[in-house]
Structure 1
Amino acid sequence: MSLMKTIGGGLVATALLAGSAFAGPSLWHIEDEDSDIYVFGTVHILRPGMDWQTDEIMTAFNAADTVYFEAPVNDPAEAAAMQQLVMANALNPAGTTLSSLVNEDTWARIESFAPQVGASGAALEPLRPWMATIQLGVGFIIVSGYDPASGVESTLWPLASEAGKTLAYFETVEEQIGFFANMPQDVEVRLLEQTMAEFEAAPEQLDDLVTSWANGDQAEIDRVMNDEMRAEAPEVHDVIIVQRNLRWADEIETMLEGSGTTFIAVGSGHLPGEEGVIALLRERGIEVSGP
């Protein structure tokens, strides 16, 4: 499982935008006598022009008093602090280079691939493996024609802000960066090595992911997003997916004790499967309508 999939939550290829019809992404609904909670799985980065805003999704969003996101990464007021946090955790200790941490095959792939995304092996040498993975992954996404500004959160956050909705978050920016920055070094390295090995296959895998998202195919989303990470990097899967899902399910259960209408928008890989947020809520006896 590459970090590129984790960053994006899914991408869309050109072919998927040309004359294709989709059932629409999934939306779940939880209600009691005084609460309505909608849960929507997102894709963080999309090609401009992707039409995912179905009537069902936008009706639920527009009805919400409060909108929950993973973290305030789309808030312009957080940008400077977020950049400082990233840079404070991005560099290797003095005397340690990226090439000294990865195997020879991976370093050869990095030196060959980096110029394609406007980087170089030399420029990446000071970076910790998690940061190099993000820089290469996001660079690949952008040069392939995708745009972080077209992602679901990048669309919904300003709409919620302009409408005067209450903006709420499951995590802080510090916590999100910490999920990667606090990984043991061997886990960071393995993630980078896997990501570089996957780049050739990435377009097909990401096409599968966004097609399943656009069609509401939760089993396929779980397979593409989580199966490989569960098998090959269980420590990463536990930190990035499982433990966060458990915390979010706790918070959603607490939301039901309050009142009002809430729209929750979190990465699509967090919702399906036995360890997904939806299954965790249902295990607690909470009735969740949807797939």
Structure 2
Amino acid sequence: MKTTIFTFIIAICSAFTCQAQELEKSLLWEISGNGLTKTSYLYGTIHMTCDATLDKNVQKALDDTKLLVLEIDMDDPSMQATMMKGVYMKDNTSIKDLVSAEEYVLLSKFIQEQMGMPLDALATMKPFFLTAMFYPKLLGCPVESYEAALMKVAHDQEEEVLGLETVEEQLSVFDAIPYKDQAADLLSSAQDNLAYDTNSFKKLMELYNSANIEGMITMMEDDKNRSTSKHMDKMLNNRNKNWISKIGDHAKTQPTFFGVGAAHLAGEEGVIKLLRKAGYTVNAVM
């Protein structure tokens, strides 16, 4: 009887250990099984970096696939015009409606110093996009893009580029996140003149460069100073769930290279574990 109970306890502990096991430190993952005849690949990108050179494993994966699928179809000639329409708040909302008069003065000074433009000219933009305008400064180098590097290879190989979601779907995320919360993040950036943002971005880049995708998602979940952790469902989880069937459809049609932000990969609601739950085998390429 004691042996049976001990065996049962070991089995339960093993099950929980397997569930809580961290993912390997890798940005490139093979997708196979579940009816796929050829291997597809999942790659975690970061949208801004100093050096977007693709390593030999990524190059080989691109050579072995016939389609590039990013978060959105960045080859769509109408993408930029559609994005411009989506950066503005709905219902004629202005930053003035979201902050106090004193805070608006602070933001105005900050925007003028950082961008050389009056806030009044930008006040109807979603605060998230105003914050995003400062991100290139956090790098401290000319900005490069992994998406652009991946697209260059696809173009050289005369392969199509598609998206897992439309531009409109991606932009709708920033209507779902309350403008008030976005404005609070922008105000925090202004109050310490980007000090917190600079430190956080540095840590994020260190995690990315070491392929620590678990660390990236943990950092986002634990960041109580920004609205990111409060709206993980809208920014990541819901989108991840919507992508799984689309990833399967593409991969079953032809071997496909999927490139999405690395923060989408890890976690219980991340793309890797969701694909595994859907029956696919997803292994790290080390």
TM-score by length of 1: 0.76
Residues 76/172 of structure 1: CA separation in 2 closer, same or farther (3 Å cut): closer
Take 1:37 and 1:60, find their aligned partners in 2: how far apart are those partners?
8
CA distance in 2 between counterparts of 1:194 and 1:97 reads: 18
1:117 match: 115
RMSD over equivalenced CA pairs, Å: 3.0
TM superposition shift of 1:249:
1.9
Q: Does residue 284 in structure 1 map to residue 285 in structure 2?
A: no
**For residues 197 and 163 of structure 1, do their structure 2 counterparts lie closer, same or farther at Cα, with a shift above 3 Å needed?**
farther
The 3 A distance-change label for structure 1 pair 71 and 229 is: farther
Offset of 1:139 from its aligned partner? Answer: 3.4
Question: Between Structure 1 and Structure 2, whose CA radius of gyration is higher?
Answer: 2
Conserved? CA contact 2:30–2:42, under 8 Å: yes
Shifted more, 208-217 versus 281-290: the winner is: 281-290
Distance in 1 between residues matched to 2:116 and 2:134, nearest whole Å: 8
**Residues 261, 119 of structure 1: CA spacing in aligned structure 2 closer, same or farther, 3 A cutoff?**
same
Deviation at 1:51, TM superposition (A): 5.3
Find the aligned partners of 2:80 and 2:199 in 1 and give their Cα distance: 35
Deviations 1:218-254 (CA, angstroms, capped at 9, x unpaired): 2211122343379955663211211001011222234
Give the CA deviation at 1:123: 2.6
Percent identical pairs in the alignment equals 22
Q: Which amino acid aligns with 1:278?
A: I
Q: Which of residues 237, 243, 256 in structure 2 aligns to 1:262?
A: 256
Structure 2 match to 1:243: 238
Distance 2:243 2:109 in 1: 40
Q: Residues 103 and 83 of structure 1: is their aligned pair in 2 closer, same or farther, counting only changes over 3 Å?
A: same
**Deviation sequence 1:20-40 (CA, Å, 0-9, x none):** xxxx95211012361211100
CA distance in 2, matches of 1:156, 1:67: 8
Q: 1:215–1:181: structure 2 CA closer, same or farther, 3 Å change rule? A: same
Q: CA deviation at 1:202?
A: 1.6
Aligned to 1:151: 145
Distance in 2 of aligned mates of 1:75 and 1:226 = 32
In structure 2, relative to structure 1, the CA distance for the partners of 1:78 and 1:232 (3 Å cut) is closer
> CA offsets per residue over residues 91-132 of structure 1, 9 Å max, x none?
5645x541231246753542332122223333333x14x2x3
3-state SS, counterpart of residue 273 of structure 1 = coil
* Unpaired stretches in structure 2, ≥5 consecutive residues: 1-24
Q: Any idea what the Cα deviations from partners look like across 1:141-187, whole Å, max 9, x if unmatched?
A: 24854555x11002211321232112221011111122213444444
Tell me, yes or no, if the aligned pair for 1:249 and 1:277 is still in contact at 8 Å. yes
Counterpart-to-counterpart distance in 2, 1:232 and 1:188: 7
Q: 2:195 and 2:58 mapped to 1: Cα distance? A: 34
Deviation at 1:195, TM superposition (A): 5.0
Conservation of the 8 A alpha-carbon contact between 2:221 and 2:229:
no
